[in-house]
Structure 1
Amino acid sequence: MTRSITDAGGSLVVRRAVARDTKRLTRLVRGARAYEGPYASMVAGYRVGPDYIEAHRVFVAADRQDGQVLGFYALVLAPPELDLLFVADRAQGRGVGRLLVAHMESEARAAGIDRVRVVSHPPAEGFYRSVGAVRVGTASATPPAVVWDRPELEFRIALGGGH
């Protein structure tokens, strides 16, 4: 069962991604300022396709008023991993990422998952740690796609309704 949650102000809603979201999600990934400069090669040809949305639990945070997509995440269940989490540059600092992480934890809990791995973009490590992820190691570079080491973190999910 998929839960829909809103932020405290009620201006955002998290909903399941659908095939018509794919172009918007792809633009979010490719246009992220965090992937400029040396990180640009990582997302240059990246595409979020309908097959990906169908295969994984992909959710978007959208503005309740106009439906504009402000961020999204993808939770892979086996093995449990937060594969993608992107927030539009213009929406950063507004709680969108925190809302998406809270939703991801709720989805993981409902699926009986007690740990979710994250291989983080290096500049995003601080965000993940600020929302409860714990550093557990380092994922080595995998050239030619990724030529830098990345922080490996883990969300520890309290099962049984606790947080």
Structure 2
Amino acid sequence: MRLRPARPDEADTLTGVAMAAKAHWGDDPAFLAGCLEVLRVDRSRMEIEPHVVAEQDGEVVGFYSVQLDGDPAVLDKLYVLPAEMGRGVGRALWAHMVAALRARDLRAVTLDADPHALPFYTRMGARQIGEAVSEVDPARRLPRMRFDLT
């Protein structure tokens, strides 16, 4: 597996990875349809925010993106194709992100986790600090997580 910066022409591929990962958990099709706009990877943001892909045999199998507007940074997306879940791709992406943010001397990163991904982020060392309202379904609450980089 190789980690590398994402290219703007891969925006649709990354959106597909995010949607496949989200669909893996069996959420309602109407909810998933609503997720598309939230999960869509925007080419223009790729030019100003770090987007890193995990590539296996020439295929994108996962990625992350980070917003660097302040400290803490915000993990915007971290998704892995379902067939690659549990094989270290997410862990490798997380470790890469942590190292990159530490190199920028940031103190922490926050994220709003999909409830299905809460065990992963907890294993990575993030802790829940509150809740956020889902952009797709206002009745759905997302665990707000923080990982200290220092």
What residue number does 1:20 align with? Answer: 9
What percentage of residue pairs aligned between the two structures are identical?
31
Q: Deviations over 1:29-56 (max 9, x none)?
A: 2222136327414423442131121121
* SS of equivalent residue, structure 1 residue 56: coil
How many residues are paired up? 143
Counterparts of 1:35 and 1:76, CA distance in 2: 28
AA at the equivalent of 1:52: R
* SS of equivalent residue, structure 1 residue 128: helix
Q: 1:109 to 1:48 in 2, by over 3 A?
A: same
Computing the radius of gyration from Cα coordinates, the structure with the larger value is: 1
* SS of equivalent residue, structure 1 residue 31: helix
AA at the equivalent of 1:40: L
Structure 1: 5+ residue stretches without partners: 1-11, 159-163
Structure 2: 5+ residue stretches without partners: none
| Contact persistence 1:14–1:61 (CA under 8 A) | yes
Normalising by structure 2, what TM-score?
0.87
Larger deviation, residues 114-123 vs 133-142: 133-142
More helix by share: 2
Does 2:146 match 1:154? yes
Cα RMSD for the two superposed structures: 1.6
Counterparts of 2:46 and 2:79, CA distance in 1: 15
What residue number does 1:6 align with? Answer: none
Deviating runs (4+, > 4 A) in structure 1? none
What residue number does 1:107 align with? Answer: 100
